[in-house]
Amino acid sequence: MLAPYAVGVEQSRGRRHPEPSHPYRNDFQRDRDRVVHARAFRRLEAKTQVFTRRYSDHFRNRLTHTIEVAQISRTVAAQLGLNVDLVEALALVHDIGHPPFGHAGEKALDGAMRQHGLSFDHNLHALRIVEDFELRYASFRGLNLTFEVREGIIKHSREYRAEEHPELAEYLLDQRPPLEAQLIDLADEIAYSTADLDDGYEARLLAVEQITSNVSLFDGCYREVQALYSNAAEKLLFNEALKRVFDRMVNDLIASTRQRIEQAGVASLEDVRRQPARLAAFSPQVEQERRQVKDFLYENLYFSPALEGEKEDAERIIGELFAHWMEEPDDLPRSYREKAAGEPLARVICDYIAGMTDPFIYRQYEKYCGE
């Protein structure tokens, strides 16, 4: 049974191109399946999360991270009485617009675009993917996803202003997204905060003493497991402590969001949309703890000297390839040369690069920019 403020599939505003109903899958389940079978989704397996494959091949990538976000989102949604099918579809599609090389790649691509008066935003790019780039159906371009999934792609992690993005006017930019979409960004925070501590420790870039000295939440959990398992190996103590960090964040997100829903007197989806602020949130204490984890990761992992070379490579490769194709557009694949006849060349090149996997962009760099 769904809560009264959840998105019922029968409430869906439908697809851009009407389709007959499926005999045993509802529309949100079909959206989930369309995302899973999309080429852009498969490419996530070869896109960097934090560590490129040149560093190691057993840490998280965009695909495994996405699966973890889907698992967390489903768990939280079920506890809150939300539409688990919609949440799962949104979680699986939430990172589909990311370029190669993680956030370093996104920064480099946006920088290249700004030199031409444009910009790159992975949410907006994800919408372009599902609306236009995926070619799987004879009746229409894109995946023809429901309005609710397309709205969630745009609004799950930030607010867009109608005056700045008139092309998004149909997505109710003056209203809050449903709770199903609001959950995704918070589940994303839980997933990467805990996973990056794990991968950083496995990579020997983060030490237990370093984490306990700077992350109070982890320190408390680690002291707790030390008392319970005094003879356990450090790695097992680390695992147990991290599991408790994970559980605290998930449990708090459920309890805090439920409390905020009750305090706001929300009784319908329209009530959710009319709220002055998002209802899905951590409690103030856990939000402070989460920020401490994030600040620690930025200072000690994401900008660590060990990963600096990877970021520099990403910026150089994307920047030089972008510049090459701007000067030599005939080196683009034919389909992209044809697109450039009706769109700015910089946008076409951006679309091409953003769709690449890490291994493919390395090959393109060697082909066109290698010495």
Quick one: which of 178, 349, 216, 185 has its CA closest to 293?
216
In this structure, the answer to whether residues 50 and 80 fall within a common structural domain is yes
In this structure, the answer to whether residues 281 and 354 fall within a common structural domain is no
- The pLDDT mean for the chain works out to 95
- Separation between Cα atoms, residue 32 and residue 20, nearest integer Å: 17
Judged on CB neighbours under 10 Å (0-12, 13-18, 19+), 345 is: middle
Asked whether residue 61 is domain-assigned, the answer is: yes
Per-residue pLDDT at 13 exceeds 80: yes
pLDDT band at 57 (very low <50, low <70, confident <90, very high): low
Q: What is the pLDDT of residue 339?
A: 93
The mean per-residue pLDDT over the stretch 278-293 comes to 98
- Separation between Cα atoms, residue 150 and residue 200, nearest integer Å: 34
* CATH code for the domain in which residue 152 is found: 1.10.3210.10
In this structure, the answer to whether residues 192 and 334 fall within a common structural domain is no
Per-residue pLDDT at 53 exceeds 70: no
Q: What is the pLDDT of residue 307?
A: 86
Q: What is the pLDDT of residue 58?
A: 74
In this structure, the answer to whether residues 197 and 324 fall within a common structural domain is no
In this structure, the answer to whether residues 59 and 205 fall within a common structural domain is yes
Q: Which of 109-113, 194-198, 234-238, 366-370 has the lowest mean pLDDT?
A: 366-370
Output the six-digit token pair for 97: 């617009």
* Torsional class of 357: left (φ above 0), alpha (ψ -120 to 50), beta (otherwise): beta
Asked whether residue 4 is domain-assigned, the answer is: no
pLDDT band at 54 (very low <50, low <70, confident <90, very high): low
The domain in which residue 318 lies consists of 314-368
In this structure, the answer to whether residues 41 and 127 fall within a common structural domain is yes
Give tens-digit pLDDT for 159-198. Answer: 999 999 999 999 999 999 999 999 999 999 999 999 999 9
In this structure, the answer to whether residues 254 and 344 fall within a common structural domain is no
CB 74 within 8 A of CB 84: yes
Q: Which of 4-8, 50-54, 264-268 has the lowest mean pLDDT?
A: 50-54
Give tens-digit pLDDT for 75-98. Answer: 999 999 999 999 999 999 999 999
Give the domain-ending residue among 257, 285, 307.
307
- Separation between Cα atoms, residue 261 and residue 179, nearest integer Å: 10
Q: What is the pLDDT of residue 49?
A: 85
- Separation between Cα atoms, residue 93 and residue 119, nearest integer Å: 21
In this structure, the answer to whether residues 303 and 328 fall within a common structural domain is no
Asked whether residue 77 is domain-assigned, the answer is: yes
Q: What is the pLDDT of residue 218?
A: 98
| Chain centroid offset of residue 154 CA | 11
Asked whether residue 85 is domain-assigned, the answer is: yes
Give the domain-ending residue among 259, 279, 307.
307
In this structure, the answer to whether residues 300 and 333 fall within a common structural domain is no
Asked whether residue 1 is domain-assigned, the answer is: no
Residue 309 or residue 131, greater confidence: 131
pLDDT band at 299 (very low <50, low <70, confident <90, very high): very high
Give tens-digit pLDDT for 311-324. Answer: 899 999 999 999 99
Asked whether residue 38 is domain-assigned, the answer is: yes
Asked whether residue 2 is domain-assigned, the answer is: no
Give per-residue burial for 257-268: e unless 16+ CB within 10 Å, then b: beebbeebebee
In this structure, the answer to whether residues 125 and 52 fall within a common structural domain is yes
The mean per-residue pLDDT over the stretch 22-36 comes to 98
Per-residue pLDDT at 282 exceeds 70: yes
Q: What is the pLDDT of residue 306?
A: 86
Q: What is the pLDDT of residue 252?
A: 98
Q: What is the pLDDT of residue 217?
A: 97
In this structure, the answer to whether residues 190 and 320 fall within a common structural domain is no
Q: Provide the number of structural domains found in the chain.
A: 2
Asked whether residue 88 is domain-assigned, the answer is: yes
In this structure, the answer to whether residues 219 and 318 fall within a common structural domain is no
Give the domain-ending residue among 254, 276, 307.
307
Per-residue pLDDT at 55 exceeds 80: no
In angstroms, the Cα distances linking 103 to 60, 122, 311, 315, 334 are 14, 10, 9, 10, 29
Q: What is the pLDDT of residue 48?
A: 85
CA gyration radius, the chain: 22
